[in-house]
A and B are shown apart, each in its own frame.
Chain A
Amino acid sequence: MLYVESADKTYPNGTRALAGLNLEVEEGEIVAVVGGSGCGKSTFLRLAAGLDQPTRGRIRLDGETITRPNPLVGIIFQEPRLLPWLTVEQNVGFGLADRPRAERERLVREVLERVGLQNYAHCWPRELSGGQAQRVAIARALAPHPKVLLLDEPFSALDAFTRASLHEHLLSLWHAFRPTLVLVTHDVEEASVLADRVLVMQPNPGRIAATIDVDLARPRDRYGTEIEAMKRRVLWALDKSLRRESGEALSPAAAI
């Protein structure tokens, strides 16, 4: 279980990126976080990854408080961030340097097969397409078998076809390893197709505006009416959260 207990984050410039965020994520659950810019969704992910510290409150994974990067938590960024001087294979094995060689090779091979890039093991990152590079990044994050995988808008730079194919890859990996997935996105379709639960966040200060359970069986048809209806629900909640925010922003002026 991933617990977020009234996590607050105020940046040195005074921006209150997160205000008392409370959240419980079940083991193996897929949670999507959507929201306008500045709603604190990336801040939340950085806190959960241990890359930043909350100003108040804490984040726990199975009872252990996360204060710095943890081997049980993997993260995938918007860009693949592969190391250009390492081959695909070496990139995937980057986090496994402390494992014995045989085990490392096995883990790398296994996860590369899962993302369908076993023939690319000896390629340089520059030889990959954008979608392939992001698949290597996913493989690198999953190779050490983390319990929680955080994804920060990982498919937003890709075209619609590649994005859809990466959703399939991600789901097949999730079926194989059953990690908890926390996916920050601004793509409502992505959230509806992948998640068990969609959190809608709103800015100033960053907090959860709505929680929508996605009770749809997998595999889901992204062009089906159920997903369409779910997309509309999420969009509606997003819309409401943004309108509420601008309403709040207006109220001090109204008071004058």
Chain B
Amino acid sequence: MTAIERFDNLGEARDSRIVSATHPIIEKKSKRTAERFLLGLALPLLLGIGWELAVRAGWAEGRLMPPPSRIFLTLYSLAVTGELWIHIGATLARVGAGFALGVIAGTLVGALAGASRLSREILDPSLQGLRSVPSIAWVPLFILWLGIFEESKIALIAVGCFFPIYLGVLAAIQSVDRKTVEVGRVFRLTTPQLVRRILLPAILPAYVVALRQGLGLGWMFVVAAEFMGASEGLGYLLIDGQQLGKPDQIIAAIVTFAILGKITDGLIASSSAPFLTWQDAYAPKH
């Protein structure tokens, strides 16, 4: 063994810990997840308890900003009567349908614009123009075209989801490294193979981000959609709470939005995580 080889192997001996120490790392990770969950919970919990105490001690008056106990009671009674589930179901169905349509259209159009320059030069300017229209501006038109029931609401949500997904897919395709694609050419991949083995995995991280942004906008637009006249849905609970002067009901609906938004976002993040373990992500330790 020459001096150079020894030098080289020294580095390997140091790095081989990566291979052998997998299990402790996994255990540590799940502990870290629990810790992170509790840390994230600390701030809202602290604020809630503080407000509760302030109202009980009489330092603040809880009429317009009811204390957590009243909000929970409201949520509880809505849940017991079954009303809450109907509203959640209606809102979830709208977001789900709108998001699905937005994802399908955004992905297809984004892929088309990313794949061919001609179609990009035809499509992109118009879509960028449409994108700068505030999506709420479509509401009157959608109501005229589609009526005041579900169709117009779903269309509005789909439009909201479409743009971030379209942009995300297009940008992701355009930023695929030419050098990586060349590796595919060297190994004589056919076009479908190139798409499956190089392009799809290369754009997946950006695509997941685009999906999460799209879903975030979907939740935003479902409220706008339900404001324009709905008899059920969390947006309806908001309007109803305002008209009948029930701030606890408004906040209960807001809290439900927050929980549902976090859960659905977490579903996308966690279902894509197994495919993205390869990422060389920046992760601060403290």
In the complex, number of A-B residue pairs with CB atoms less than 8 Å apart: 77
Tell me which of B19, B180, B186, B197 contacts A75 (CB under 8 A): B186
CB contacts (< 8 Å) of B7 on chain A: these are 161, 165
CB contacts (< 8 Å) of A77 on chain B: these are 179, 182
- For this complex, 22 residue pairs linking A to B, each with C-beta atoms less than 8 Å apart, are A69-B186, A71-B188, A75-B186, A77-B179, A77-B182, A83-B180, A85-B201, A85-B202, A85-B275, A116-B12, A119-B16, A120-B19, A122-B19, A123-B19, A126-B278, A129-B11, A132-B11, A161-B4, A164-B4, A165-B5, A165-B8, A168-B5
Establish whether residues B4 and A168, one from each chain, have CB atoms under 8 Å apart when the complex forms. Answer: yes
A99-124 CB contacts (< 8 Å) to partner B: 116, 119-120, 122-124
Is B255 located at the chain interface by the 8 A CB criterion? no
Task: Name the prevailing secondary structure of the B interface residues.
Answer: helix
Is A229 located at the chain interface by the 8 A CB criterion? no
Is A14 located at the chain interface by the 8 A CB criterion? no
- Hey, what's the 0/1 contact readout for A47-73 against B, CB within 8 Å counting as 1? 001010000000000000000110100
CB contacts (< 8 Å) of A123 on chain B: these are 18-19
- Report the separation of the CA atoms of residues A126 and B183 in the bound assembly, to the nearest whole angstrom: 18
CB contacts (< 8 Å) of B193 on chain A: these are 97
Would you give the shortest CB distance from B17 to chain A, in whole angstroms?
A: 11
Is A95 located at the chain interface by the 8 A CB criterion? yes
CB contacts (< 8 Å) of A95 on chain B: these are 186-187
Besides A86-B278, A165-B4, 19 more A-B contacts (Cβ < 8 Å) are A71-B188, A77-B182, A81-B179, A83-B180, A83-B198, A84-B280, A85-B202, A94-B183, A94-B187, A94-B197, A95-B186, A116-B12, A120-B19, A122-B19, A126-B278, A127-B18, A131-B8, A164-B4, A168-B5
Is B27 located at the chain interface by the 8 A CB criterion? no
CB contacts (< 8 Å) of A116 on chain B: these are 8-9, 12
Is A246 located at the chain interface by the 8 A CB criterion? no
How many chain B residues have a CB neighbour from A under 8 Å? 31
Would you give the shortest CB distance from B22 to chain A, in whole angstroms?
A: 9
- Hey, what's the 0/1 contact readout for B6-41 against A, CB within 8 Å counting as 1? 011101100110110000000000000000000000
CB-based nearest A residue for B185: A69
Would you give the shortest CB distance from A174 to chain B, in whole angstroms?
A: 17
CB contacts (< 8 Å) of B8 on chain A: these are 116, 131, 161-162, 165
CB contacts (< 8 Å) of B198 on chain A: these are 83
- Report the separation of the CA atoms of residues A40 and B175 in the bound assembly, to the nearest whole angstrom: 28
Is B191 located at the chain interface by the 8 A CB criterion? no
Enumerate chain B interface residues (CB-CB to A < 8 A): 2, 4-5, 7-9, 11-12, 15-16, 18-19, 179-180, 182-183, 185-188, 193, 197-198, 201-202, 204, 275, 277-280
Would you give the shortest CB distance from A152 to chain B, in whole angstroms?
A: 11
Is A79 located at the chain interface by the 8 A CB criterion? yes
CB contacts (< 8 Å) of B279 on chain A: these are 84, 126
Would you give the shortest CB distance from A110 to chain B, in whole angstroms?
A: 19
- Report the separation of the CA atoms of residues A95 and B12 in the bound assembly, to the nearest whole angstrom: 26
Answer whether A81 and B180 are a contact pair too, CB < 8 Å, given A116-B12, A168-B5: yes
CB contacts (< 8 Å) of B185 on chain A: these are 51, 69
Would you give the shortest CB distance from A158 to chain B, in whole angstroms?
A: 11
CB-based nearest B residue for A125: B278
- Closest 5 interchain pairs by CB? A126-B280, A165-B8, A95-B187, A85-B201, A85-B278
CB-based nearest A residue for B275: A85
- Hey, what's the 0/1 contact readout for A19-30 against B, CB within 8 Å counting as 1? 000000000000
Answer whether A127 and B15 are a contact pair too, CB < 8 Å, given A81-B180, A83-B201, A168-B5: yes
Would you give the shortest CB distance from B194 to chain A, in whole angstroms?
A: 12
- Report the separation of the CA atoms of residues A85 and B272 in the bound assembly, to the nearest whole angstrom: 13
Would you give the shortest CB distance from B190 to chain A, in whole angstroms?
A: 11
CB-based nearest A residue for B188: A69
- Report the separation of the CA atoms of residues A132 and B8 in the bound assembly, to the nearest whole angstrom: 9
CB contacts (< 8 Å) of A49 on chain B: these are 186
Establish whether residues A168 and B12, one from each chain, have CB atoms under 8 Å apart when the complex forms. Answer: no
Would you give the shortest CB distance from B280 to chain A, in whole angstroms?
A: 4
CB contacts (< 8 Å) of A168 on chain B: these are 2, 4-5
- Report the separation of the CA atoms of residues A120 and B9 in the bound assembly, to the nearest whole angstrom: 13
CB-based nearest B residue for A150: B186
Would you give the shortest CB distance from B1 to chain A, in whole angstroms?
A: 10
